[in-house]
Amino acid sequence: MLLIDTIVAATNATKMAADKMPATGITAWIAQVATHFIDTTGYIGIMILMTLESMVAPVPSEAVMPFAGFAISNGTLSWTGVIFFSTLGSIIGSLIGYWMGAKGGRPLVEKWGKYLLLDKHDLDITEKWFTKRGDIIVFVCRFVPVVRHVISIPAGMGRMNLWKFSIYTIIGAGIWNSMLTIAGFYLKKNWGEIMRYSHIIDYFIVFAIAIVIIYYGYKLYSTRKKSKSA
């Protein structure tokens, strides 16, 4: 209940802050709202989001960690805390994914994965990568979009050594989370200069959002269609 109350309180606070913030373009608005949410939830919020990101849920780290870098630049969070709790969330989520693969295997993933927009094609690609490249792919895939979310499942299905899996995940996730955080930190440092071109960035953001909506809409439609025909 405490966890749920924290998330609800943070969400309400973020909405209130967003209402008070001046509208200076989509780019500035997203940055302000995202940073405020992370400021409000703190390290626990970062850990939860990164746990979801590593256990198949469609929460991209690219949309989380740069704003943690913003919070560091603002002085509300520390480098140590952000990297530690984000990586902790990554290993927790990855271990959940590993357990899904080890205990439930493909049937469990195919049954419940559709609710997280994971289709059979995603799993097939990741499983093929793991079979072809071996254990090291767990480390490499921390830097690869989409595959990063599901690589833990075939690792669990293949009963990869748990200690080796954990070490590869911690190192890979730690490096990736650090890179995104550093990018966000320096982005914030040069925010004034970037905002001079915010109207151009806004067009790209609208286009990117449209692409994401179309992509996930298509995946949801395809998943439901396959479920009905099965």
| Tens of pLDDT, residue by residue, the chain (230 residues) | 444 454 445 444 444 444 444 445 665 666 677 778 888 889 999 999 899 888 877 678 887 898 899 889 889 999 999 999 999 999 999 999 899 888 877 676 666 665 555 666 666 777 777 777 777 888 988 888 777 877 888 888 888 899 999 999 999 999 999 999 998 899 888 766 555 555 555 566 566 667 767 766 776 666 666 666 65
Supply the pLDDT for residue 13. Answer: 47
Compute the distance between CA of residue 96 and CA of residue 190 in angstroms, rounded to an integer.
38
Helix ranges restricted to H, the chain: 2-20, 26-54, 65-74, 79-99, 105-112, 120-133, 137-140, 147-150, 152-157, 162-189, 191-194, 198-229
**Length reported for the chain:** 230
Supply the pLDDT for residue 22. Answer: 45
Compute the distance between CA of residue 190 and CA of residue 138 in angstroms, rounded to an integer.
34
Residue whose structure tokens are 């079979």: 131
Compute the distance between CA of residue 8 and CA of residue 85 in angstroms, rounded to an integer.
20
Supply the pLDDT for residue 11. Answer: 46
Residue whose structure tokens are 């992370």: 38
For the entire predicted model, the pTM comes to 0.70
Looking at residue 215, what DSSP letter applies?
H
| Phi-psi group of 42: left, alpha or beta (phi > 0 → left; psi -120 to 50 → alpha; rest → beta) | left
